[in-house]
Amino acid sequence: MRRKYQISAFCLVFLFSSLPATADEGIWLFNAFPRQAVEKAYGFRVTGEFLNHLQQSAVRFNNGGTGSFVSASGLLFTNHHVGADCIQKLSTAQNDYMRDGFLAASQPDERRCPDLEVNVLRRIEDVTAKVEAAATPQTPPAEANRLRKAAMNSIEKACSASTGLRCDVVTLYAGGRYHLYQYKKYTDIRLVMAPEFGIAFFGGDEENFTFPRYDLDITFFRAYENGQPARIDQYFRWSRTGVKEGDLAFVPGNPGSTGRLMTVTELEFSRDVSYPLIHRRLQSLIAALETYRARGAAEERIGQENLFSQQNSFKAYTGFLSGLRDQALMDRKRAQEKKLKAAIAVNPAEAAKFGKFWDELSTTYAKYRTFYAPFWLLERAAGSGSALFQIARDIVRYSVETRKPDAERLREFAESGLPSLEQSMYSEAPIHPSMEIAVLADYFAFTEKQLGAGHPAVKAMLAGKTPQAAAQACVESSKLAGVAERRRLAADPAAVRASNDGMIRLALAIDPFARQLRQRYEDEVESIVTRAASQIAQARFAAFGGSEYPDATFTLRLSYGAVRGYRENSGKPVPFATTFAGLYPKGRNREPYIIPPSWLKAESRLNLQTPFDFVTTADTHGGNSGSATVNTKGEVAGILFDGNIESLPNRFVYTSRQARSVHVSSEAVIEALRHVYGATTLLRELGF
């Protein structure tokens, strides 16, 4: 739940056609929310006004999470771990806001994040017909794929020009539907309050994806426009009563990706090929960062957020793989697929049209297995963990792509998305050469091990050096820490080609191989699966009315569920909530169980019976982090920050027997602001 997991998954839209969603299941589109199901299960009538309030009050943090407006003056509420990237970038050796926390005494003291953007979804438009009109059924798949992407670029560009909003064409059902999402964008985001990392992530990686928990995983920011706090019409007010067991809760957020609609072929590919490689890469990077942080106090501080992020992803993939290696889960998937094949076989026309579909997928994924590793290592996850490499690659590609017609560009360089890309590319965030060298050296060594020392891309990146020496040479010869140099190079492809900057030379060395692999992927895999998925989607919509939800796409969705405890495998009951009283006995004189001094001093002032964290059956996933937990009055009753370990296989099959989403209580936030942090100004703004 801590991050939006960056995973490519073709989510084909048919596996659950014969089975209705179970109670509380669903990551629902706002324009297709099952109001009647909620009313039937909980007796609460969801109105259009209620949905609009949730949609307009929720925001997307473009670094991979969710948040909400909680005041008319642009005050934003999200998780500490969603805000940690900004908090880390604002921290220095003298002012370590990750370790010590931060509280602005007044608005002038709020600190601007160097590259944070938040989006508010204003409007959704179905543009399926416009995208599909770009190609005919007779168009070869690879060409059709290019034409559809060109159409998406054109739709986005026209929308941004006419509205002034950020416009994204979102692919749903792997090509069965295309929706245009229009966002109000805020790029001046300032830090207002953050607790200490020690209480925001109490229990650390040991207790990540577990419950019971005692985490105050919260942060407050403020959105500004034209140098002034943004004026907000729709925002969540704060609940004064919190939650009790059995309460209905809504969670508006931006889940990153799920695989509920994946075929068995795709699940087996993830189980056997893609996820194990990602898992190994994360394990290697974590080891490198742990070694780096052990070098000294400065390195320990610099590497904290990077390590935290990688550890979180590693634990998530551990859970995903556990689900895929569960024979019962896979048998359930096979049975569902078999049932659908039988349903299609009943109709001769459908059997003739779709009967070869699974064989086509099997052939496509067999081909994908042969080049997935180099594609992922050189294109999709190249230089992971390195800020400098991402900047260098962006510059190299920006200088070329922005000189092409918009319809011919790589999707991430489409005209409508350039302002957001440029904000990231020209960020003033600090670059730490020592960590860059450590991370790049590990990437080089891992890639060499996976692809072999003789692979031409490995030879190009190492240039005859050891991984450590190559990384050192690339970083130490680079001037990309300076934003002026980045702008100079990005504006001139000739300057990029002539540059002696080590990071630019590295990006140029890898780019031909990466582009070739990306083209092969798009032509031989993506295009085939998209075509097939689109055809099946049309048949499915005709048969079942299109009432099922699509897999997650890091766009706004709405989940709901009950506040409810559960039983462990041993039968031991797990209460729905923890209280402050449970925190102090867990304190230790070692990480990650060191209670911050501010909390030790405040113990006597706190109401120790205040609910701390609680769980619900809401269907949430990575990217939902920071989502407000909203009661039936439309108030903040908590904030989602995690799921228990039993929830991770929900990526593929939803269950609510033990799987739970984990939230910080709204009452805990107020109690801490009042008695631990003395945040009277912030409390007043929240209505207390």
Render pLDDT for 53-80 as a digit per residue (tens, 0 to 9): 999 999 999 999 999 999 999 999 999 9
With H, G, I as helix, E, B as strand and everything else as coil, classify residue 501: coil
The reply to whether 283 and 253 lie within a common domain is no
Residues 76-108: pLDDT tens digits?
999 999 999 999 999 999 999 999 999 999 999
Q: Which of 540, 570, 587 is the last residue of a domain?
A: 540
d(CA 94, CA 100): 11
The C-alpha angle with vertex 398 and arms to 396 and 401, in degrees rounded to 5, equals: 110
The reply to whether 598 and 472 lie within a common domain is no
The reply to whether 220 and 359 lie within a common domain is no
pLDDT at 263: 85
Q: What percent of the chain has pLDDT over 90?
A: 87
* Residue 251, strand partner residues: 559
With H, G, I as helix, E, B as strand and everything else as coil, classify residue 67: strand
Residues 107-156: pLDDT tens digits?
999 999 999 999 999 999 999 999 999 999 899 999 999 999 999 999 99
The reply to whether 416 and 505 lie within a common domain is yes
* Tokens (6 digits) for 651: 């990526």
Q: Which of 484, 511, 540 is the last residue of a domain?
A: 540
Q: Which of 540, 567, 592 is the last residue of a domain?
A: 540
Residue 225 has pLDDT above 80, yes or no: yes
The reply to whether 345 and 364 lie within a common domain is yes
Q: For the whole model, what pTM was predicted?
A: 0.94
The reply to whether 483 and 596 lie within a common domain is no
Among 15-29, 432-446, 525-539, which stretch is predicted with the lowest mean pLDDT? 15-29
Please check whether residue 599 lies inside any domain of the structure: yes
The reply to whether 311 and 446 lie within a common domain is yes
Domain with residue 582: its CATH number is 2.40.10.120
Residues 164-210: pLDDT tens digits?
999 999 999 888 899 999 999 999 999 999 999 999 999 999 999 99
Please check whether residue 428 lies inside any domain of the structure: yes
Among 204-218, 301-315, 532-546, which stretch is predicted with the lowest mean pLDDT? 532-546
Q: How confident is the model at residue 214 (pLDDT cuts 50, 70, 90)?
A: very high
| Residues belonging to the chain | 688
The reply to whether 315 and 248 lie within a common domain is no
Residues 21-39: pLDDT tens digits?
457 999 999 999 999 999 9
pLDDT at 539: 56
Residue 289 has pLDDT above 90, yes or no: yes
Residue 418 has pLDDT above 90, yes or no: yes
Q: Which domain holds residue 504?
A: 264-540
Q: What average pLDDT does this structure show over 249-265?
A: 93
pLDDT at 20: 37
pLDDT at 353: 76
CA distances in angstroms from 678 to 303, 670, 685, listed in the order given: 30, 10, 14
The reply to whether 351 and 413 lie within a common domain is yes
Provide the number of structural domains found in the chain: 2
Average pLDDT, the chain: 93
Please check whether residue 140 lies inside any domain of the structure: no
Q: What average pLDDT does this structure show over 293-321?
A: 97
CA distances in angstroms from 208 to 319, 519, 662, listed in the order given: 12, 38, 11
Q: What average pLDDT does this structure show over 548-575?
A: 95
pLDDT at 342: 80
The reply to whether 249 and 296 lie within a common domain is no
Please check whether residue 135 lies inside any domain of the structure: no
